[in-house]
């Protein structure tokens, strides 16, 4: 069963501004889907069918459940962001 996280980065990425990052990870911490939502509007989505583009890509190392535990969200919250 996947686990879901939302992490906010308060440091702006150029003109795109600050961002919220959403992750769907498997039991071993590997990212299945990754969503980056930037303050000025750009949204980047990465999954198995779209792993990277000119702006970045899906995480290449597993996420630490211990480190990310404070940022856990529900599957419904993740899906709402993913489909927005």
| Mean pLDDT within 8-13 | 91
pLDDT exceeds cutoff 90 at 13: no
H-run or E-run covering 46: strand 43-46
Query: Phi and psi (nearest 5°) for 50?
Result: -140, 85
pTM to 2 decimal places: 0.94
């Amino acid at each position: 069963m996947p686990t879901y996280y939302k992490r906010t980065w308060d440091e702006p990425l150029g003109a795109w501004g600050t961002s919220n990052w959403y992750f769907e990870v498997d039991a071993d911490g590997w990212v299945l889907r990754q969503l980056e939502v930037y303050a000025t509007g750009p949204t980047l989505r990465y999954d198995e069918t779209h792993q990277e583009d000119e702006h970045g890509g899906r995480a290449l190392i597993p996420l630490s459940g211990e480190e990310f535990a404070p940022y856990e969200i529900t599957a419904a919250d993740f899906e709402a962001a993913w489909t927005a």
